[in-house]
A = this chain, B = another copy of it.
Amino acid sequence: MEAVRLIQVKEDIHADNRAVAEALRRRLAKQKTFLLNLMSAPGAGKTSTILRTIEALQGSLRCGVIEADIDSTVDAERVAARGISAIQLNTGGFCHLDASMVSKGLDGLDLGTLDVVIIENVGNLVCPAEFDTGAVRNAMILSVPEGDDKPLKYPLMFTVSDVLLVNKIDYLALSDFDMDAVKERVRRLNPNIQIFEMSAKTGQGINEWAAWLQREATRFIGRAAERV
């Protein structure tokens, strides 16, 4: 076995985004709108999961979506085709959303008519984890075909997420994905994380996750109402 040499090329790339995010959360409390930030690698199933989730919440919470993409409107069109309020943010090369971009996105939605807004962040396990979007809760998707080593390689993403959705469990039979190992690795990084196994394709597990989201949103909106 060859020895591994390690070179650090670390540099600080963060601007001060925190104050904008905090101001955004105060605005959301005033508006009584719950903001969820959904992150994942490309192709993990964010759009499909959002569509299933909004379907599950129908009749109890009114949902809108902020779609972030480098330069397409594919996802927003897919969401809008279902009659859901959607706004597309084009980041023009940026691999993440920050709080000021999200704030602009919210300006384009009629928040008075929405209880929940879901941000579909840029498909990326690195940059989005580093920027507070102003969301009330962070959720991430890890899909089975990506492999069970992802918590080892992208620890920050698993650390900043309140919820992990393990998607595409319909692929488990074909895969050597070790669900117990994933849960152990993730909980070592983040002992309080909620983990739901699901398939946006078959719908399996969606109700459990949607129930959690509904509880969190209802609690936030209730507290916001008390403050008024």
Do the beta carbons of B11 and A43 come within 8 Å of each other? no
Would you call A195 an interface residue if the criterion is a C-beta within 8 Å of the partner chain's C-beta atoms? no
Out of B13, B41, B144, which one reaches A94, CB within 8 Å?
A: B13
Out of B12, B93, B108, which one reaches A7, CB within 8 Å?
A: B108
Interface residue ranges of A88-117 to B (CB < 8 Å): 88-95, 101, 104-105, 108
Kindly list chain B residues whose C-beta atoms are within 8 Å of the C-beta of A122: 126
Residue of B nearest to A76 (CB): B4
A1-36: contact bitstring with B at CB < 8 Å (1 yes, 0 no)? 111111111111110000000000000000000000
Do the beta carbons of A9 and B104 come within 8 Å of each other? yes
Do the beta carbons of B2 and A85 come within 8 Å of each other? yes
Smallest CB separation, A38 vs chain B (Å): 16
Smallest CB separation, A200 vs chain B (Å): 11
Q: Which of A14, A74, A89, A145 has the most CB of B within 10 A?
A: A145
A127-163: contact bitstring with B at CB < 8 Å (1 yes, 0 no)? 1001000000000000111110110111110000000
Whole-angstrom CA separation of A178 from B105 in the bound complex: 32
Contacts A9-B92, A72-B152, A153-B74 given; does A4 touch B87 at CB 8 Å = yes
Do the beta carbons of A104 and B7 come within 8 Å of each other? yes
Whole-angstrom CA separation of A80 from B108 in the bound complex: 51
Number of copies of this protein chain within its complex: 2
Do the beta carbons of A92 and B2 come within 8 Å of each other? no
Whole-angstrom CA separation of A83 from B89 in the bound complex: 46
Q: Please give the residue numbers on chain A whose beta carbons come within 8 Å of chain B beta carbons, in ascending order.
A: 1-14, 41-43, 69-77, 80-81, 83-95, 101, 104-105, 108, 122-127, 130, 143-147, 149-150, 152-156, 168, 170-171, 174
19 contacts across the A-B interface (CB closer than 8 A): A1-B80, A2-B84, A6-B88, A6-B90, A7-B87, A7-B90, A7-B108, A9-B101, A10-B92, A11-B93, A41-B42, A42-B125, A42-B146, A74-B152, A93-B126, A93-B130, A124-B124, A144-B145, A171-B174
Whole-angstrom CA separation of A149 from B73 in the bound complex: 12
Whole-angstrom CA separation of A76 from B105 in the bound complex: 40
Do the beta carbons of A9 and B94 come within 8 Å of each other? yes
Whole-angstrom CA separation of A174 from B147 in the bound complex: 17
